[in-house]
Amino acid sequence: MNRVEWSRLDAGARAALLARPAEMNAPDVSEQVAAILADVRERGDQAVREYTQRFDGIALDDPRVSAAEMDEASASLPDRLRGAIEDAATRIEAFHRAGMASDYALDTAPGVRCERMLRPIARVGLYVPAGSAPLPSTALMLGIPARLAGCEEVVMCTPPRADGRADPAVLHAARVCGIDRVYRIGGVQAIAAMARGTASVPACDKLFGPGNGWVTEAKRQVSSGAGAVGIDMPAGPSEVLVIADAGANPAFVAADLLSQAEHGPDSQVILLSDDDALLEAVDAQVRSQLERLPRAAIARQALACSHLVRVASLDEAFGISNRYAPEHLILALRDARGWLPRVRRAGSVFLGDWAPEALGDYCSGTNHVLPTSGAARYCSGVNVSSFQVAITVQEVSAQGLAQVGPCAAELASAEGLEAHRRAVTLRLEAVA
């Protein structure tokens, strides 16, 4: 990992240090993603089949997973894995159910009733990555809130394995969530199919799920322009920022950094500390632990764009973290809870030495589909409300119109909108 001292960097070097790896290849990726999206929009299933053959090496006939395949997948799992999936689902559901919003209503004036009611998004598309590693946990993180929200139809896409089948753990997780419409399609072509619709895959109203830089760019493009669909957020290559003090356990910190670095070559990990000895010890631990990882080659690529940063103080560390707005933020501090009020921008926070980020990835209960690339500055991780729309209602009596009508008429007049004003004053005259 790159070792730097924050105080010695100028403004340009600081910005470069906090830049995400995926941002460096954005123009080239953007053009290629646009071409694939346009092709799928034009040729539908045929284009999807061709891109699946090109990128995954799989010749698809019918991309949809059958009910028999779902049954076989569940039956094939070891009991311990099946139990872990179901155990995680229980905690994820408990956490998300507790945070569900509800309808509300109040009288803003006598005779003026204002309400907000929540309705589920009718059809949602869930993307579950399975490129270098299948992610059944993502199926739970997306499928459970969708079920709690009451979405009428849920479509899931996940890349096929080398044998052409969908990962059985992903399929069982989908079944736990009550999802039976699953397609063996990955990458940009999956986003295109769910956004625009094909003969096989229905068009969805909103798309959810993390992915690599290509998938994230595809989501961004389908969310704008003609025929745009909603997306949850930019949920791209994984990232973690750790703030650690002298008392942190170097082995724990190194393991947390590597747990994100092994996600993919475009992942990024950053450690901020005010203690030189801790930085040196973590560096040594990263080197040692890396040698024992099956995905060491992937992690090494991610570490090339990652940093060990010496800061002057923990106050400075929190300033850097809020500027970076990390997807995951680990506070390996002696009084982690006491420092929590300093956090302004982060997808999910892990307090103290005994809260590895991996628990949030799998089974603590919070959601691991989180904003990346600094999007934590303006959006939150997936939750039940992500799958709902809020509709406001107003009910006004003659008495209520008399109460608030003059206010509306005055404002309409100030804005020069005479038809607006008359829509109110005609009624006021009828009430008088």
Report the mean per-residue pLDDT for the chain. Answer: 96
Identify the domain boundary among 212, 232, 252: 232
3-state secondary structure of 12: helix
95 and 49 in a common domain:
yes
Confidence of residue 1 (pLDDT cuts 50, 70, 90): confident
pLDDT score recorded for residue 130 = 86
Max Cα distance, the chain (Å) = 84
Binding residues: 127, 189, 212, 238, 260, 263, 328, 361, 415, 420
What mean pLDDT comes out for the span 293-313?
Answer: 96
Residue 382 counted as domain residue:
no
Confidence of residue 26 (pLDDT cuts 50, 70, 90): low
**Alpha carbon distances (Å) from 169 to 87, 153, 184, 247, 316:** 14, 21, 14, 39, 43
pLDDT score recorded for residue 432 = 83
Identify the domain boundary among 166, 197, 232: 232
Catalytic pick among 93, 239, 262, 327: 327
334 and 261 in a common domain:
yes
- Asked if 224 and 141 count as a contact pair (C-beta separation under 8 A), the reply is no
204 and 137 in a common domain:
yes
State both tokens at 376: 């934590």
11 and 124 in a common domain:
no
Which domain covers residue 263, as residue numbers? 2-22+237-377
Sheet strands (E) in 230-347 = 230-231, 239-244, 268-273, 307-310, 328-332
Side-chain half-sphere exposure of 388, counting CA atoms within 13 A = 18
**Rounded distance between C-alpha atoms, residue 116 and residue 104, angstroms:** 6
Name every residue whose Cβ is closer than 8 Å to that of residue 177 and which is 6 or more positions away in sequence.
89, 139, 140, 142, 143, 144, 146, 147, 154
What mean pLDDT comes out for the span 243-262?
Answer: 98
86 and 49 in a common domain:
yes
Catalytic pick among 328, 357, 395, 418: 328
Tell me which amino acid residue 159 is. Answer: P
Residue 273 counted as domain residue:
yes
Residue 39 counted as domain residue:
no
- pTM score of the predicted model: 0.94
Binding residues for Zn(2+): 260, 263, 361, 420
- Give residue-wise pLDDT tens across range 208-252: 999 988 999 999 999 998 899 999 998 988 999 999 999 999 999
Residue 24 reports pLDDT greater than 60: no
- Asked if 261 and 357 count as a contact pair (C-beta separation under 8 A), the reply is no
pLDDT score recorded for residue 87 = 98
**Alpha carbon distances (Å) from 202 to 146, 151, 155, 160, 323:** 17, 15, 8, 19, 39
The reply to whether 69 belongs to the active site is no
**CATH code, 9:** 3.40.50.1980
Domain count, the chain: 3
DSSP states along 264-280: -TT-EEEEEES-HHHHH
**Rounded distance between C-alpha atoms, residue 183 and residue 387, angstroms:** 20
What mean pLDDT comes out for the span 52-81?
Answer: 96
pLDDT score recorded for residue 28 = 84
